[in-house]
Amino acid sequence: MSPYLFYPLACLTIAGALGVVLNNNPVRSALSLVATLFLLAVYYIALQAHLVAALQIIVYAGAVMVLFLFVITLLNLSPDPADRTSPLFGAAALGSALLLAVVLGRALWATTLPGAANTPLPEGFGTTVVLARQLFSEYLVAFELTSILLLVAVVGAVVLAKRDPSPADMDAPAPGREA
């Protein structure tokens, strides 16, 4: 991956990730998250993983985040007042973030990533055929278990949505966006 591509991209991605945390407005936070996920797909393209990039955009930047935004716009959340959070909360957040950074850094330090060195890519790296062969041979069990998990989630969502609403819920006025 060319450094001329990597560093500007890295700056943009970090800016997007910061935007998720620092924005008071939930819609803008969600939009920053969309931008971050979209930029991650650009890395995948630069790393020859076209299929993963397309799936990243379809699933995360597309489907998941659209539903996030859909819910947020319907809930009509007001911008978070900044003075509601206590300094204790901020300190705790900063502390856990630092702890996570240390743990991740230590883990990265201890392992050598096979792709980090400038080794030539194996034949057909990142193509759909190679990925599919791996998925349906070596990782078949994990793949099938994941699909069962997703099926359970879908059935669960339908069951929850199908539950008869109580009369009190029906009478409640629909939430509207106040001017």
Q: Is 48 strand, coil or helix?
A: coil
Using the rule CB under 8 A, is 174 a contact of other proteins? Answer: no
Q: How many CA atoms lie within 13 A of 30 on its CB side?
A: 17
Note the Cα 77 to chain centre separation in Å. Answer: 21
Distance, CA of 39 to CA of 27 (rounded, Å): 18
Note the Cα 91 to chain centre separation in Å. Answer: 25
Using the rule CB under 8 A, is 39 a contact of other proteins? Answer: no
Nearer to other proteins, 58 or 94 (CB): 58
Contact 12, 39 (CB under 8 A): yes
- Nearest approach in angstroms of CB 173 to other proteins is 14
Using the rule CB under 8 A, is 19 a contact of other proteins? Answer: no
Nearer to other proteins, 88 or 174 (CB): 174
Using the rule CB under 8 A, is 57 a contact of other proteins? Answer: yes
Distance, CA of 126 to CA of 41 (rounded, Å): 13
Using the rule CB under 8 A, is 42 a contact of other proteins? Answer: no
Among 28, 29, 42, 130, binds other proteins (CB under 8 A): 28
Using CB under 8 A, list all residues that contact other proteins: 25, 27-28, 31, 34, 38, 50-51, 54-55, 57-58, 61-63, 66, 69-70, 73-74, 127-128, 176-177, 179
